[in-house]
Structure 1
Amino acid sequence: MLLHHIHTFFQQHTRPPTVWVGLSGGADSVALLHALTRYRHRQMCSGSLNLAAIHVHHGLNENADMWADFCANLCQQYAVPLTIERVQIDASDLGVEAAARAARYRAFAKNIGSGSLILAHHADDQVETVLLAMLRGGGLRALAAMPETRVSGSLNVLRPFLNASRAEIEQYIQQHQLTHIHDTSNDCTDFLRNWVRHDLLPHIQNRVPDIRQHILGSIEVLQDELSVVNQVLAQDWQDCCHNGIVSRPALLRLSAARQKAVLLKFCEIKKLGLPRKSSLNDFMAHLPDSAQHIWSLPQGAIWLYRQHLWAWHAQQQADYVAQTQNFSGSLNRAPQLTWQAAPRGLAWADLNRDAIVRPYRTSDTLITPLGRKSVVKLLQDKKIPPPVRRHWLVVEMAGKCVAVANIAVCESVAVANGWLPEWQLTLPFVSHRLD
């Protein structure tokens, strides 16, 4: 029966040439690995499926080394290459369960890259996931539980057993006399999922015998509704975001609920972390009437400036500050700058002259085709957000500012078909600006 689930799954979804089995050594993952090796054997004539396995060694159980050895022996028996990845669990913020899960997926991403990871989650896991989401106050995405396929970071995650029950897997284990690991921590109801599995769900089932079928039916409905929501969000995102910058006027044309969805997607894509509900609502309150506002997020910030929303990750900010150190020497050796051919720019010989690269000063000016302008005004004209332009780099020669990174070269030294200094970290704030 499990083989049928795999066959049906790969008929409905594109089969990758190689799949990595997430192998814990427990009954579910052992059954998955065994079923996949049988499926591979039946497909050998076309050579259409390569198998590999990965075991994450959490080090949380005194038997962890034994489990790794078990997985190694099992994979040797099945002629499946195995990677064992040891991880360190820091449960100080997330708790043991969440921290272990996060470490697992980091290990998967590290070793598999952009490959396909296949996991043994089944229908009973789906039911437990929904109940956990309800207990934690989850929204539509959480209540829709796990999809059969999902892109998680760089990974393509596959779950062919979501229509199989735990009972089917246990029957398969017995039928093929498969040995597996029993993790005693799965019996401990101090963990919320285990309490749901062993206490809450059986209690509900005594009153509502068909509760599992009801929940699975609800998941199917919710996943359809989530699909519609995702289609609407994709269109809203296309309308609001161009080249990584969100248009405030386009955002304000949406309902409040759709504004929230776009902002959360912006945070997700830019990897800024999940905001608190109160923080999100506070930022939305500034959208209609604030000319400038900074939304602080766990991993960075979003700036509302004029008619645009700009995102800057904390690491980008740190790199930016690190590169605002003064440089003195041959200009072409300045580590912060690269050089782009431009209609008007510095002569090639100038790049070999001694110069200073430094953050601009309020007294700095530049001669443009339209007359002399302060560097401050040039940056304002380009609509550079204030937190970014605060330390914008310029080139100084013989005591005078002769170029502003990514913007212009002073007409007093510029030549036709010259070179414009580029500061890669700030290019998105110039070349991708919305007009």
Structure 2
Amino acid sequence: MASSRNCPADWIAALGAAISQCFPTGCRIAVGLSGGLDSVVLLHALHGAQEHAAFQLSAHHVCHGLSPNAESWVSFCVLTCESLGLPLSITRLALERQPQQSLEALARDARHAALRALPVDVVALAHHADDQAETVLLQLLRGAGVAGLAAMPLLAPGQPALWRPLLGHTRAELAAWATARKLAWIEDESNADRRLRRNALRHDISPRLAEHFPGYPQTLSRSARHCAEAGELLRELAVLDGLPDDPHKGLRLFALAALSPPRARNLLRQFLLSAGLLAPSEARLEAFRLALASPRSDARSALLHQGVVVLRQGDRVVVAPQVQAFRRTWRGENALALPHGDLVFDTTPGQGLRAEFAHQGCTVVPCPRGARLVLASGQPGRPVRELLRQHGVPVWARDAWPVLQGEAGLLAVPGLGVAPEARTRGEAPGYVLRWVPAPTTGPSYAGSKASR
């Protein structure tokens, strides 16, 4: 969107040109429409840009239900879209706040998830230069690095992509354009709540900054772009230093050990980001680096981060799910859904577990430490975890590997076999147990011999 100091036709045409350049012909673009000034301006601008580019335009309103005016905002969005002849979809949220959870963050994350779930190619968001400046300042105050200071990107890839075409424009410019066109919009009363940090910054600090540093939003937006470039360079450096193209492959330890501490921290940070995790704090990242580099660190040196574990597995650093305890009763179902995958019971004549066990209420639990499985009559039981290791199952996956137990003890382990006294005979029907692990961000073990 070009400067609003140009005539509307000029910058609307530029907006259409940007769409033609960035997105395929006929793409579906949905505006995140709150009903406020910013999103109303964006909706009208994109509506005008349809004369200059071929795309399908719609709007989506997320109703949080937090304000007593929420339904009137829904009605306003409906009328606005009807006046433009544009389709509108609505998501109604039922937010459940956990103890000590920020309601502001909860609403933001739920809104973002709703928009990301839309069946469109692009979601257009109405963040502008003032929003960007506030984000940069808030990130500075929390001690963020270049990734945080890069703030909000103009275009975030994904399905759908997130596009912010107003980042080069201030709130004042948008208000002037809307007033000139006699547009209507709603005011969210929560924007005046100074208990929220962003509002306190907007109402109490930003005006003072503007007095002494006119045009500071554009200046901070420029700094955000510089930080975004620096972030790209840090990722390129991490690739040169050994960042895997797929986080499931794990990060080679020798690549980490050969680097200076700053480069090693960058490589580890980029690896965690590539696995879909947020970067840990500076202190926590250094603790990760030292623990993983320690000669005494092994697979049991698991570092918890965002509900997963970061640990050594052989010559690699892997990210694995944190094992959840479970206990299920099997009564003949074809499959049991477990926290880390599905345990499937394939009916196979002459193989596997005798069918009678399907009626005895056997128990499925994670493989207990010290569990042994007899593979042949007359032979001693062998450690299940050692058998899984020999079959290529990583240690963190062994912790979640299910086993079937009966009143007399261990009956079967998927991928390994069935205790002799529990096996079917002749061509009688039996159950072959098959473990289908859920996708993880650690190295895949779905191809290991035990999971076949």
Matches within 5 A, 1:15-414: 15=24, 17-43=27-53, 48-89=54-95, 90=97, 92-110=99-117, 112-113=118-119, 115-151=121-157, 154-236=159-241, 238-239=243-244, 243-268=248-273, 270=275, 275-288=280-293, 289=295, 290-291=297-298, 292-314=300-322, 317-318=323-324, 321-322=325-326, 325=328, 327=330, 333=334, 335=336, 336-338=342-344, 349-351=350-352, 353-354=354-355, 359=367, 362-366=371-375, 374-382=383-391, 384-390=393-399, 392-393=401-402, 404-406=413-415
Question: Post-superposition shift, 1:13?
Answer: 1.5
Letter matched to residue 3 of structure 1: I
Secondary structure of 1:198's aligned partner: helix
In structure 1, distance between residues paired with 2:48 and 2:161: 22
Q: Which residue of 1 aligns with 2:437?
A: 425
Q: Is the 8 A contact 1:272 1:301 kept in 2?
A: no
Question: Post-superposition shift, 1:146?
Answer: 1.6
Instruction: Give the TM-score normalised by the residue count of structure 1.
Output: 0.78
Cα distance, 1:172–1:101 mapped onto 2, change above 3 Å: same
Letter matched to residue 106 of structure 1: A
Secondary structure of 1:424's aligned partner: strand
Question: Post-superposition shift, 1:18?
Answer: 0.5
* CA RMSD of superposed structures (Å): 3.9
Q: Gapped runs of 5+ residues in structure 1?
A: 341-345, 414-418
Cα distance, 1:243–1:198 mapped onto 2, change above 3 Å: closer
Q: Which has the larger helix fraction?
A: 1
Q: Is the 8 A contact 1:121 1:162 kept in 2?
A: yes
Instruction: Give the TM-score normalised by the residue count of structure 2.
Output: 0.76
Q: Is the 8 A contact 1:59 1:88 kept in 2?
A: yes
Q: Which residue of 2 aligns with 1:14?
A: 23
In structure 1, distance between residues paired with 2:151 and 2:278: 21
Count, aligned residues: 410
Question: Post-superposition shift, 1:92?
Answer: 4.8
Question: Post-superposition shift, 1:338?
Answer: 4.3
Question: Post-superposition shift, 1:130?
Answer: 1.5
Identity of aligned residues (%): 28
Cα distance, 1:279–1:348 mapped onto 2, change above 3 Å: farther
Letter matched to residue 133 of structure 2: V
Cα distance, 1:197–1:235 mapped onto 2, change above 3 Å: same
CA deviations on 1:345-369 (whole Å, 9 max, x unpaired) are x9853158436786476332436xx
In structure 2, distance between residues paired with 1:273 and 1:405: 34
Q: Gapped runs of 5+ residues in structure 2?
A: 1-7, 337-341, 424-430
In structure 2, distance between residues paired with 1:421 and 1:258: 46
Question: Post-superposition shift, 1:49?
Answer: 1.0
Question: Post-superposition shift, 1:23?
Answer: 0.5
Letter matched to residue 39 of structure 2: S
